[in-house]
Structure 1
Amino acid sequence: MSLVLHAETDRARWLEAWRALPTREPFAHPDFVAMFAARGVRPLAAVDSGAIFPFLLRDLEAEHWTEPGENRRDVAVPYGYGGAFVTGPGVDPDLFWKRFDSWAHDHRVVCADARIFLQRDEVLPMSGWSEQPACDSAVVDLARYRALRDQSFSSSVRRNIRQAGRAGLTVAVEHDEAAWQAFREIYRATMDRRRATGSYYFTDAFFVRLHGLLGNLARLFVVRDASGEPLSGEVVLLGTTRAYSYLAGSTGPGRRSHANELCKGAVCDWLVRGPWQEFVLGGGNRPDDALLEYKLRFAPGGRRSYSTGSKVYDEAAYAELVRLRHAFHERERLEAHVPRRFPAYR
């Protein structure tokens, strides 16, 4: 690669590349990628030939099941959407990925995986990668919302929003420390209730950095009842043309009083006062599950296909790591490891 930049030590050069991105996607910003820095995890970006590919370089030695001295690594896209974002004309995707492949081999990368950005014409084709269809995403067309307001939602959502309003619930953008801590507690309780996998339980350092993005790349919307008690919260990431529902949660009373629906409606009201054209709600945990069906009530006709990408650079090493993970579980008499997604050893 021409440059592989670190989100912290090379922030100025990374920002220069990000500013060339017409839609200024938050997922390509160094401060977003830096949220995922941890022991054995480096927030990096490959910059070359009019494109920028943000990624995490993960040392496999940091995994609890590997042996001391393990010196192999893998590559992943941070939680969200990714790929090689196009920053200029005349990009050769084959050459870009060939150069990245060479860098990966030099750095003992076994494999890579990515959640591919929804707007495929704004990222390079994933030359040499395998692609797999994943859960579709729901996307609110904000031009339609500007014209129809909540009439663009399903009738059940409109009814629930009216009920929440009659109950005295209100929504506001809040960035102070007290609101942020309340949101963190609500988010964690929501993940506990849903029995979420470990990947949804982010570190304290992650939340500190995410709080630092509020007012710039992100906003926190908080729903409160008539007494001021927080019932629901949602973190929304902002590009120049798209916004993304990133983290959200609600209390038991919040769910019963339809705080989530009120919050989504308020976010749409806020976004249509600005330049944003789409509000990406994300998808479900499985194809056509109840979560996706719920999100599509805010975006009838707004279903967008979505894929993940993967690449194995060293087949023998990949197979060995899968065996090592299974052997560790057998040796420690743990429940058998069942991979949820690529790579199979994670």
Structure 2
Amino acid sequence: MQFLGAWMVLGAALLTGQGVASAEQAPAPFPPGPRALRVGTSEVRAAADFDAGLAFDIPAAQVPPGSWVLLTPSYAVKGTPPAGADLGFSVTYPKGLAVEASNGQCTVSAATRTVHCTSPAEGARPQMRVTVDPAAAAGQVLDLTATVDPVPGDSDPSDDVATATVTVVPLEAHVDVTAPATAREGQVFTVVVHLRNDGDVAVGDEFRGSVIMSDSGPGGGGELFRWVSLPPTCGTDPASYQCGAGGTVPPGGTKTYSFRLEALSGAAGRVFTMSARWDPTATTQLQDAVRVRILPAAVVARPVAGGAPRADTPVVPADTAPARPELAATGSNGVLLGLLGSGLLGVGLVLRRLGPNRSRLPRTPA
């Protein structure tokens, strides 16, 4: 019996050992936490760190009717996006704006007023040229809204939407062209183009102009005048010019361009017209012109041999009054008359002294 009891104890121990071993090898229905973290740890951390966001480089702009502004939405990606995720964003804009997109894979739909851009690279910056309707009322506020395309696992949805505000401001720009009413052949005269910005936003300073001599057709008449000097930022075409070089006229500012020209021989009787067309905005044109009537060169009489004057010699006008030879001749005659008068006066005095002496001579008796 003792022997049988020992075998029973030993068998129970063996059975108990096999049960423990089997329990350790069987899969648990909910694996413990530490073992789960060791499986796919990098993928879980990447999904937790991924974020896509948007921001406009210019969140607010003031634009006159008909003008435009460049807006650049920056699409930023942090971390590693989920495999197969479609990255991109959409921009919606209201009526009163027109949008063109470049520097990115963007599609513009004017019908739905939507721009959609795909930006697989981090930091993608497509440019959008936003133009205000020329008929837009000053003071109107127009918002553009950019929204990130939904991506699973985005850890920070707060930066998924960005807004840019365009405020329509009045355009108060003026262009004036001034010049003398007349100029003579051979005379240098000055034409001034004056740009003035009375608005609240800077505008471009580029403008184009043209020159017309009457009876010579548009852009013609270059043989009737010559450029003496032009502003350094203007072209040298004798019939037309372009100035500005991409500068701006600031709010309340002015810019002045001076042109010096000379009317050549043969231009008398013609009308010189110089115009300037200023485009302070992309779709706004302001124009002014000035007309200068060309007169013949000044003609003065010049003495010739024999005393007969000739009046067929033209003289180029100068800043000072021309010499007056008739004044010099009048002065010479005055000197001669003075000398002659003095001589006659001396003779008269001598005769007067001799007169009494002759009356005191003794008379001869008859």
Shorter-chain TM-score: what band? under 0.3
Of structures 1 and 2, the one with the larger relative CO (CA 8 A, separation 6+) is: 1
- Whose radius of gyration is greater, 1 or 2? 2
TM-score, normalised via structure 2 length: 0.20
TM-score, normalised via structure 1 length: 0.21
Question: Which structure carries more strand by proportion?
Answer: 2
Question: Which structure carries more helix by proportion?
Answer: 1
